[in-house]
Amino acid sequence: MGVGENFRIFCDNLIVPNQSDISYRYRRITRRLNLDFWGVDSETSHSFYVGSYGRNTAIGASDLDVLFQLPYSVYERFNGYAGNGQSALLQAIRTSIQNTYSVTSVGGDGQVVVVPFTDGVKFEILPAFINKDDSYTYPDSNGGGTWKKTDPKPEIQAIKARDALYGGNLRRLCRMMRAWKHEWQVPIKSLLIDTLAYRFIETWEHREKSYVYYDWMVRDFFLYLSNQNDTQTYWSAPGSGDPVWSIGSFQYKAKRCYNISLEAIKYDSDNMSYTARGKWREIFGSKYSSP
């Protein structure tokens, strides 16, 4: 197989499995919350996927982030608590979901309700209230309780639009870089991967080409990552402009993998495809097309 076919198989291997099971669980959770907080029997209203799965850049189904919009009257009720109404709101969400799924907990970050399943998948439900500018206010129960703001829809739309403009290349690049992140244990947020890939692909000269150019795309993106300012503390997310904070230095590992990608490309040009595939697997792990 050629380079293009190897990368096509690799990208197919990164598609989230069991999406029908995910959808079934999402619809049951949404229906329960709608019944208890809106008084409507709907499996889809007032909720949507956020995070990597919402942006369609995830490669695994271990963590599913869902935002559930609540009526403003619920905000008024819990905001009026004498102490930590945010924690009380999360407990109310937990109690509601327990009518459908018996095991739930409030997440360690004090902002979500976690619904774990025996197959390793877990849903993280973020209760939120829509603002006049279409952003959302959500509870943070830490430190006595505060309200915070998030704006995921413009981020989702920005990634979707640019991915469509360039033939699906943006989301595939984001997924490939998640495989690298996991294989090399890179300290970089998933949203920062998406943010930097979004910026990179806008000016990459082969952005409208497909799999046969993916070895160059990966090479050039590693170089782009390695050239990011290592003292920069945050980048602005596409769409929302919200800060995406650095959690560590990713530049050194990006440079190492840039050099490995140069080796892989050289081996391919010398018709040493078996050795080249081994180099790509060194970067991306076992999901890359088997040698």
Rounded Cα–Cα distance for residues 291 and 280 (Å): 10
DSSP 16: P
Who's near 212: CB < 8 A, 6+ residues apart? Answer: 2, 3, 4, 7
Rounded Cα–Cα distance for residues 74 and 95 (Å): 15
Strand partners, 50: 65
Contact 231, 167 (CB under 8 A): no
Alpha helices in the chain (DSSP H): 3-13, 19-37, 51-55, 72-79, 85-97, 152-165, 169-184, 190-203, 214-226, 251-269, 273-284
The pLDDT value recorded for residue 30 is 98
Domain 19-150 has CATH 3.90.180.10: no
Rounded Cα–Cα distance for residues 44 and 62 (Å): 21
DSSP for 201-229 reads HHH-TTTT--GGGHHHHHHHHHHHHHTS-
- Return per-residue pLDDT of the chain as tens, 291 residues: 789 999 999 999 999 988 999 999 999 999 999 999 999 999 999 999 999 999 999 998 778 999 999 999 999 999 999 889 999 999 999 999 999 998 778 776 789 999 999 888 999 999 999 999 999 999 999 989 999 999 999 999 999 999 999 999 999 999 999 999 999 999 999 999 999 999 999 999 999 999 999 999 999 999 999 999 999 999 999 999 999 999 999 999 999 999 999 999 999 999 999 999 999 999 999 999 764
Rounded Cα–Cα distance for residues 114 and 81 (Å): 23
Specify burial of residue 229 (Cβ count, 10 A radius: 0-12, 13-18, 19+): exposed
Query: Hey, where are the domains in the chain?
Result: 19-150, 154-284
The pLDDT value recorded for residue 290 is 61
